[in-house]
Amino acid sequence: MGTLEKEINRRRTFAIISHPDAGKTTLTEKFLLYGGAINLAGSVKGKATARHAVSDWMEIEKERGISVTSSVLQFEYDGFCINILDTPGHQDFSEDTYRTLMAADSAVMVIDASKGVEAQTRKLFKVCVMRKIPIFTFINKMDRDANDTFELLDEIEKELGIATCPVNWPIGSGKGFKGVYDRDEQCVITFSDTEKGTKEGETRVIPVTDETALTGAIGEDAFATLTDEIELLDGASAEFDLELVQAGELTPVFFGSALTNFGVEFFLQHFLEMTTTPLPRKSDKGLIAPAENDFSAFVFKIQANMNKAHRDRIAFMRICSGKYDASMEVKHVQGGKVMRLSQPQQIMASERKILEEAYAGDIIGVFDPGIFSIGDTLCMPKEQFRYEGIPTFAPEHFARVRQMDTMKRKQFVKGITQIAQEGAIQIFQEFNTGMEEIIVGVVGVLQFDVLKYRLENEYNVEIRLEPLPYEHIRWIENKEEVDLNKLVGTSDMKKIKDLKGNPLLLFINAWSVGMTLDRNEGLILSEFGRD
């Protein structure tokens, strides 16, 4: 096996998804702790300490204690090179999560043991199912009172429509949490509280056959319950089947506590064995295999002003095949240009490291002078293919943007255009006007706060947002065949255009969409925008 293949095979690239507050950021930090990437886990909320979670870097995230952008973290552990894509848990940022999942080979779903499957988990999970990516479940916060274990598994199966296979099994929860039973090794790993932020407390491994030691460690009642539950479990749960896991039809389930660090390394070790090496990607020339092709990548995220001192824009790309080295020239397919990628770097939250080389499976950030768009393909100059695009979600909330100081027109246009290119917001104009009338559309209302905050803090521009009553947007699929001036709409319909000049229609009521289709024969409307 050559170096290229070896390097690609040791890579694991996954996204972590969860409902807000399920403990995703804490789990991410503990992974980094095991990989030696950080020495002390910081607290997200930052009450006891001024440190913030490594993966939350935008000021607004630190203030609110939520992740609003996906960050990328890379670390080494046990011979593996791991790329973690941390995603926003808040549903108002589900579009960013969707794009991030396009760059991952598998997903880790974090569930709060006392809350079970929450609304946002459901939404994100559907995205995983759409992509058919393997899902691994970590049921967190076992050190707090949890729901019944069988009910939790039942809920995952019913709500998400995926079979579950517990790899370990909890013994109690909250103050009565004694540890977990390892089904494969048939032993109990006992739980003891650890100091916050350190690697591990005292754990003992006791074979399940050693009844005396086990009752001594967990008590007779817990032992009796465990015996009953193991019997039930062996009869009722799905058999572990790696093929079904990798097809996204079976999720291995692990129990633990990210805060106290119990069960985290157990999960990490098993996960790395079960998850796949970088997968081939679909392009208009068929599947592109990671080790058999020269360098290629696609852009899944653009982030401006990650570092206030630099005022820069970073395009994040997932390398899909081959090896990248800093001296090579690549072709930006959509722009039709051959170029060198500028300042290729690996980003660990707000820390950066300039890269000399990277392999399929890795995520790199490159300086973007404003030429990249989400979904763009990069490949070798002699090649010519495109990876499948990333659809644009239909915004559900709209507002007219008013600029407070008209003298700052230039900064305003630059700021709002750059933020729109990142894909967090979408901007539109009245159909027959230029940039003077700007309408902004978002998937979740929290995006409006982020827009206002960023324009003020990064571009020194104050705005006022006037909410609009529209809730439905449609792209016109056959725009070449439609004369917009002759379109017969409804009284609540508004004609707008996007930044590329594509015509769109806004409606207040869903029934108006149907009425407009009825009144204009041959008109084709779509809920997704595509390049």
Question: Which string of DSSP letters, residue by residue, matches 235-269?
Answer: HHSPPP-HHHHHTTSEEEEEE-BTTTTBTHHHHHH
Which CATH number is 56's domain given? 3.40.50.300
- The number of distinct structural domains making up the chain is 3
pLDDT at 208: 83
Q: In terms of Cα–Cα distance, which of 267, 255, 265, 116 is closest to 173? A: 255
DSSP per-residue codes, 485-513: GG----TT-EEEEETT--EEEEESSHHHH
Q: Quick one: 204 and 322 in the same domain?
A: no
Tell me, what's the pLDDT at 345? 75
Q: Is pLDDT at 490 greater than 70 in this prediction?
A: yes
Residue 504 maps to a domain: yes
pLDDT at 310 over 80: no
- Sort 137 into a burial class: Cβ within 10 Å, 0-12 / 13-18 / 19+: buried
Same domain flag for 319 and 186: no
The verdict on residue 44 lying in a domain is yes
Looking at every residue in the chain, the average pLDDT score rounds to 82
Beta carbons within 10 angstroms of residue 260's beta carbon: 23
pLDDT tens digit sequence for 411-470: 898 888 888 877 778 889 887 766 567 899 887 787 788 888 888 888 899 999 999 999
Domain-located, residue 88? no
The reply to whether 425 and 404 lie within a common domain is yes
CATH number at residue 520: 3.30.70.3280
Rg (alpha carbons) of the chain, rounded to whole number: 25
Q: Are residues 342 and 443 in the same domain?
A: no
Q: Is residue 225, in this structure, part of any structural domain at all?
A: yes
Residues written for the chain: 531
pLDDT at 522 over 60: yes
Q: DSSP state, 44?
A: S
* 143 contacts 260 by C-beta, under 8 angstroms: yes
How many whole angstroms from its chain centre is CA 66?
Answer: 14
pLDDT, residue 201, reads: 55
Report the pLDDT value the prediction gives residue 320, as an integer from 0 to 100.
96
Residue 77 lies inside a defined structural domain of this protein: no
Same structural domain, 125 and 57: yes
362 and 292 belong to one structural domain: yes
* Spatial separation of the C-alpha atoms in residues 18 and 180, rounded to whole Å: 22
- Interaxial angle between packed helices 446-459 and 409-421, expressed in degrees from 0 to 180 and rounded to the nearest 10: 130
Residue 207 located in a structural domain: yes
- Quick count: other Cβ atoms within 10 Å of Cβ 301? 26
Q: Are residues 188 and 228 in the same domain?
A: yes
Domain boundary among 258, 274, 290: 274
Would the CA dihedral through 433, 434, 440, 441 be positive or negative? positive
Share of the chain above pLDDT 90, in %: 33
> Is residue 390 situated within a structural domain?
no
Q: Are 40 and 139 in contact (CB under 8 A)?
A: no
CATH number at residue 317: 2.40.30.10
pLDDT band at 35 (very low <50, low <70, confident <90, very high): confident
Statement to judge: residues 473 and 520 lie in one domain: yes
Residue ending a domain, among 350, 379, 408, is 379
Same domain, 270 and 288: no
Does residue 220 sit in the same domain as residue 288?
A: no
Average pLDDT over residues 170-191: 90
As given in the structure block, the two tokens for residue 361 are 């499976």
Do 265 and 287 fall within a single domain? no
Three-state secondary structure call for residue 331: strand
Domain presence at residue 352 = yes
Q: Bridge partners of 86? A: 16, 71
> What is the three-class DSSP state of 335?
coil
Region 79-88: mean pLDDT is: 83
Structural domain range at position 495: 397-526
Q: Which position has the higher pLDDT, 1 or 136?
A: 136
d(CA 529, CA 420): 14
Model pTM? 0.77
Q: Considering 316, 346, 379, which residue would you say is the last residue of a domain?
A: 379
Cα–Cα distances in angstroms (integers) from residue 289 to residues 15, 102, 135, 232, 307, in the given order:
21, 16, 22, 43, 35
Do 413 and 489 fall into the same domain? yes
